[in-house]
Amino acid sequence: MLISLGIDQGVANCGYAIVQIDNDEEIKVIDSGCI
């Protein structure tokens, strides 16, 4: 099971963070900043 949590703050996806938890219980945080 793949759980994805997306948090969008501000406008134009500024400070957008994605947390992914895979079957290996690995936590990945991706901060794409302003797009």
What does the pLDDT look like over 1-35, one tens digit per residue? Answer: 455 555 555 455 555 566 666 677 766 666 666 55
Contact status, residue 15 vs residue 31, Cβ threshold 8 Å: yes
User: What token pair was written down for 15?
Assistant: 């400070």
| Residue 1 pLDDT | 44
- Do residues 18 and 9 make contact, with C-beta atoms less than 8 angstroms apart? no
Q: What pLDDT score does 33 carry?
A: 61
Is-contact 3 18, C-beta < 8 A? Answer: no
Number of domains in the chain: 1
- Structural domain for 10, as ranges: 3-33
